[in-house]
């Protein structure tokens, strides 16, 4: 058995663990614990507490703490070699915030293994619940912060993103405005990631550059707290925020609580956690500038890596610090598989294989037929009005509409990622639609680069484990190289590579301009 590292991922609905053997370059254990099923006493649905206001989406920090106890107990039961783990790291759902009282520092340092974490944390929370990334109740606060920072362009250039309802800064501002006494009692504000890291380290953990960038509070270039953003958000905020640190930075040895209770190695290092998206970037193997991954899910997500910081002046894309150094970007397109499924339903297409065959039966460029498949309001580009728009496209032609929806989605990705100033060398694709070669051929042609499919289970937890390894190697002066660390963990599916068709690529070079014009026309009408 080689060097073992533990990665944890506290997502919206579950807590996952991945243990890797770095010397053997393989995952030796993985487990997930669903919050609703394992901890019904917290009364969540899909990890979220019910609320009369549909815009308010909160969860309980005590739920996450209870899940940590349960998962360690399960690992002990499964005879995981916890005594041989040499470093632990993790990731958390981005933007969620936890509010702690002055009691937190002493409590974390003296966690009693005879009690549960929930019992230990009695009196530590200044706010019983945590707003999470799904919360969209802070539109007013977003506008207030954005105005003070000089508008969308300046907000994004300073913090990496425009203000968004789910981001932590607007959530803190709303808390300060609506519950001023509770805000005053708050001595430390954590993210989901740093809260969980604090439990493992037995002390207030830093916030890393990746997750910190999802707050509208961190200077994206200098990687420190931005004074103007803090001032625009809430009073005395700088006193309530922990230090910022690189992902995987060693906080110290793990808390004696986990050593005594579960047999975790007393010499294991607790390291700084990051957000689930930055961790997934490592888990997918995106460690060099120009590497891109696309997740074809309910929403389509475009992940990219940059050496230098470029921000989106339109405020549609996000820039976070990358755990590997440099920067990562995230662009989310709401109408992903949602739109593809709507088209499939509309034309009564039996399965995705048939859908792909229809796409393959039509020519690249679709005879200049374009669709804007905004079945729901869209994030990128910002469209507050749902609706499908067709240009030179016969709605009765099923095959043409199948190709049109996927061409539109890929052209939109190409158009709205240009601000990154990075031409991808290759694209790794995950998600349900990544199994269809006809669709991936369109992607390869539009982006004019090779495409490979990758299947990584629990990419955020895997990324966290790899981050733990890098942190330990750095702390022990081993001069780690990311290429060597991820080797064997992030291999593309054999035989899945697709090369672009050069003739089709030239067609799409021209078509992206036509698509941009169609999009502009539609947005002008809105």
Instruction: Please work out, in degrees rounded to the nearest 5, the angle formed at the alpha carbon of residue 89 by the alpha carbons of 318 and 431.
Output: 50
pLDDT value at position 457? 73
- Closest by Cα among 191, 189, 188, 172 to 180: 172
For the cut 60, the answer to whether the pLDDT of residue 354 exceeds it is: yes
pLDDT band of 524, cuts 50, 70, 90: confident
CA separation for the pair 87, 17 (Å, rounded): 13
CA separation for the pair 411, 511 (Å, rounded): 8
The CATH number assigned to the domain with range 4-279 reads 3.30.420.40
CA separation for the pair 382, 414 (Å, rounded): 16
CA 141 to chain centroid: 23
CA separation for the pair 473, 484 (Å, rounded): 12
Q: What is the pLDDT of residues 459-506, one digit of tens each?
A: 999 999 999 999 999 999 888 999 999 999 998 999 999 999 999 999
At 499, give phi and psi (nearest 5°). -95, 145
pLDDT value at position 367? 95
* Mean pLDDT, rounded, for 14-35: 97
Which CATH topology does 286-455+494-526 take?
Nucleotidyltransferase; domain 5 (3.30.420)
* Mean pLDDT, rounded, for 1-25: 96
* Mean pLDDT, rounded, for 318-344: 93
CB-based contact 217:170 (threshold 8 Å): no
For the cut 60, the answer to whether the pLDDT of residue 240 exceeds it is: yes
Q: What is the pLDDT of residues 395-417, one digit of tens each?
A: 999 999 999 999 999 999 999 99
pLDDT value at position 474? 96
Q: How far is CA 150 from CA 146, 157, 387, 420, 421, in A?
A: 6, 10, 32, 22, 24
User: What are the extents of the domains in the chain?
Assistant: 4-279, 286-455+494-526
For the cut 60, the answer to whether the pLDDT of residue 66 exceeds it is: yes
* Mean pLDDT, rounded, for 258-283: 96
pLDDT value at position 525? 66
Task: Please report the DSSP string for 84-125 in residue order.
Answer: GEEEEEEEE-TT-EEEE-TTHHHHHHT--TTS-HHHHTTTTB
For the cut 60, the answer to whether the pLDDT of residue 28 exceeds it is: yes
For the cut 90, the answer to whether the pLDDT of residue 320 exceeds it is: yes
Q: Which of residues 519 and 433 earns the better pLDDT score?
A: 519
First to last CA, the chain: 61
Q: How far is CA 230 from CA 152, 169, 217, in A?
A: 17, 8, 6
* Mean pLDDT, rounded, for 34-59: 96
CA separation for the pair 333, 375 (Å, rounded): 12
Number of neighbouring beta carbons within 10 Å of residue 1:
9
* Mean pLDDT, rounded, for 277-302: 90
Sign of CA dihedral 310, 313, 314, 315: positive
Q: Which of residues 526 and 142 earns the better pLDDT score?
A: 142
Q: Give me the chain's average pLDDT, please.
A: 95
Q: What is the pLDDT of residues 126-173, one digit of tens each?
A: 999 999 999 999 999 999 999 999 999 999 999 999 999 999 999 999
Q: What is the pLDDT of residues 162-188, one digit of tens each?
A: 999 999 999 999 999 999 999 999 999
pLDDT value at position 11? 94
Domain pair 4-279 / 286-455+494-526, same fold: yes
Sign of CA dihedral 303, 307, 309, 311: negative
Provide the CB-side half-sphere exposure for 156 (13 A, CA): 19
pTM of the model: 0.91
Which pairing describes strands 274-275 and 85-92: parallel, antiparallel, or unpaired? parallel
CA separation for the pair 475, 403 (Å, rounded): 51
Q: How large is the angle between the packed helices 398-416 and 437-447, nearest 10 degrees? A: 40
pLDDT value at position 78? 98
CA separation for the pair 515, 523 (Å, rounded): 12
Q: What is the pLDDT of residues 503-515, one digit of tens each?
A: 999 999 999 999 9
Residue 360, burial from CB neighbour count under 10 angstroms (0-12, 13-18, 19+): middle
pLDDT band of 290, cuts 50, 70, 90: confident
> What 3-state class would DSSP assign to 43?
coil
């Amino acid at each position: 058995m080689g060097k073992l590292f533990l990665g944890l991922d506290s997502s919206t609905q579950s807590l996952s663990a991945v243990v890797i053997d770095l010397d053997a370059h393989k995952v030796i254990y993985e487990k997930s614990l669903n919050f609703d099923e394992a901890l019904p006493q917290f009364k969540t649905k899909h990890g979220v507490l019910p609320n009369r206001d549909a815009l308010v989406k909160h969860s309980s920090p005590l739920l996450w703490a209870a899940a940590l106890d349960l998962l360690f107990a399960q690992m002990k039961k499964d005879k995981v070699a916890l005594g041989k783990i040499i470093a632990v790291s993790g990731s958390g759902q981005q933007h969620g915030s936890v509010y702690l009282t002055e009691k937190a520092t002493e409590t974390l340092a003296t966690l009693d293994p005879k009690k549960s974490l929930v019992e230990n944390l009695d009196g530590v929370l200044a706010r019983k619940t945590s707003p999470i990334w799904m919360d969209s109740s802070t539109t007013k606060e977003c506008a207030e912060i954005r105005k003070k920072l000089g508008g969308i362009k300046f907000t994004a250039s300073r913090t990496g993103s425009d203000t968004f309802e789910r981001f932590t800064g607007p959530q803190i501002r709303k808390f300060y405005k609506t519950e001023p006494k509770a805000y005053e009692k708050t001595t430390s504000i954590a993210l989901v990631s740093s809260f969980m890291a604090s439990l493992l380290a037995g002390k207030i953990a830093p916030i890393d550059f990746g997750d910190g960038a999802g707050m509208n509070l961190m200077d994206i270039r200098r990687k420190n707290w931005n004074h103007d953003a803090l001032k625009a958000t809430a009073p005395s905020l700088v006193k309530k925020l922990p230090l910022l640190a690189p992902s995987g930075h060693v906080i110290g040895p793990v808390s004696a609580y986990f050593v005594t209770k579960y047999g975790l190695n007393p010499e294991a290092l607790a390291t700084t956690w990051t957000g689930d998206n930055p961790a997934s970037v490592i888990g997918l193997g995106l460690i060099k500038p120009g590497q891109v991954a696309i997740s074809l899910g309910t929403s389509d997500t475009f992940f990219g890596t940059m050496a230098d910081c470029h921000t989106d002046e339109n405020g549609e894309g996000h820039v976070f610090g990358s755990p590997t150094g440099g920067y990562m970007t995230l662009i989310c397109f709401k109408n992903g598989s949602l739109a593809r499924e709507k088209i499939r339903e509309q034309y009564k297409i039996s399965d995705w294989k048939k859908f792909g065959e229809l796409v393959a039966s039509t020519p690249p460029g679709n005879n200049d037929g374009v669709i804007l498949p905004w079945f729901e309001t869209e994030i990128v580009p910002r469209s507050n009005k749902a609706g499908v728009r067709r240009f030179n496209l016969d709605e009765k032609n099923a095959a043409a509409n199948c190709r049109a929806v996927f061409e539109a989605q890929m052209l939109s990705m190409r158009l709205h990622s240009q601000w990154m100033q990075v031409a991808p060398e290759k694209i790794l694709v995950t998600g349900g639609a990544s199994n269809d070669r006809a669709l991936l051929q369109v992607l390869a042609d539009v982006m004019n680069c090779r495409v490979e499919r990758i299947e990584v289970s629990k990419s955020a937890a895997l990324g966290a484990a790899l981050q733990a390894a890098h942190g330990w190697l750095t702390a022990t002066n081993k001069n780690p190289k990311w290429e060597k660390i991820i080797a064997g963990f992030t291999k593309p599916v054999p035989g899945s590579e697709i090369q672009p068709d050069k003739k089709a690529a030239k067609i799409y070079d021209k078509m992206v301009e036509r698509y941009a014009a169609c999009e502009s026309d539609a947005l002008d009408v809105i």
